[in-house]
Structure 1
Amino acid sequence: MRSSTSSSAATSEPTTHAVNLQVREDIRDLIDRAARSQGRSRSDFMIDAARRATEEAFLDQTLVRVDRQTYEHFLAVLDQPPEGEGFERLSLVERDQRRAGPQQQI
């Protein structure tokens, strides 16, 4: 389907488009229950969920561009052995946890 709502110059509302999905009945019912629990329509609920999932997917794929000199410095830092007060404290905590053995969860 093409556009379900046309953009109007007077209202400046964005054009919307239909998206048709085939979904199992049990999943549709689950979506409907969740949407009703928030007082929202199925469409509004699904659009918001899809938008959030899309943002999450992009956030997981951060790309940082640097010049060669900066990249080489970054690699050199990664190749250095861990050091410093923070690393030493972390090492002590990990050592103590290993000595204590597995913890029982209540």
Structure 2
Amino acid sequence: MPQRLVEDNSRMSLRIPTEEKALLLRAVALKHTNLTDFVVSSALEAARSVIDQAERLRLSERDSLRALDLLENPPAPNAKLLAAAQALPKLP
């Protein structure tokens, strides 16, 4: 059964196996925090890492040098690029 949407979206419920909850509670005790803060901070750290990996482009040294060279010495435009530029609407 689908859950109904709630306007106050600040609450989240999780169902996890007893063993996993016990592991979380052990970590919480060692960190001297509470379960909510521990889970939220851990999830946010993981989310930031996933987003960073998805949005960041990592180049090898060779590719970095090639990209810099192309920025400093761009190739001459080919016929398709010139045609596309000509097709653009003129700015006022």
Equivalent residues in 2 for 1:3-82 (5 A)?
A: 3=8, 17-63=10-56, 74=67
Query: Secondary structure in 1 aligned to 2:36?
Result: helix
Equivalenced residue count is 56
Greater helix proportion:
2
**TM-score, normalization: structure 2?**
0.52
Give the whole-Å Cα distance in 1 for the aligned partners of 2:56 and 2:40. 26
Q: List gaps (5 residues or longer) in structure 2.
A: 58-65, 71-92
Give the whole-Å Cα distance in 2 for the aligned partners of 1:53 and 1:63. 15
Same amino acid, percent of matched pairs? 14
Q: List gaps (5 residues or longer) in structure 1.
A: 4-15, 65-72, 78-106
Deviations 1:12-66 (A, max 9, x none): xxxx6110111000000000110111111111100000000000001101256xx
Give the whole-Å Cα distance in 1 for the aligned partners of 2:12 and 2:28. 18
Greater strand proportion:
1
Moved over 2 A (4+): none
Whichever residue aligns with residue 51 of structure 1, its letter is L
Counterpart in 1 of 2:82? none
Counterpart in 2 of 1:104? none
**TM-score, normalization: structure 1?**
0.46
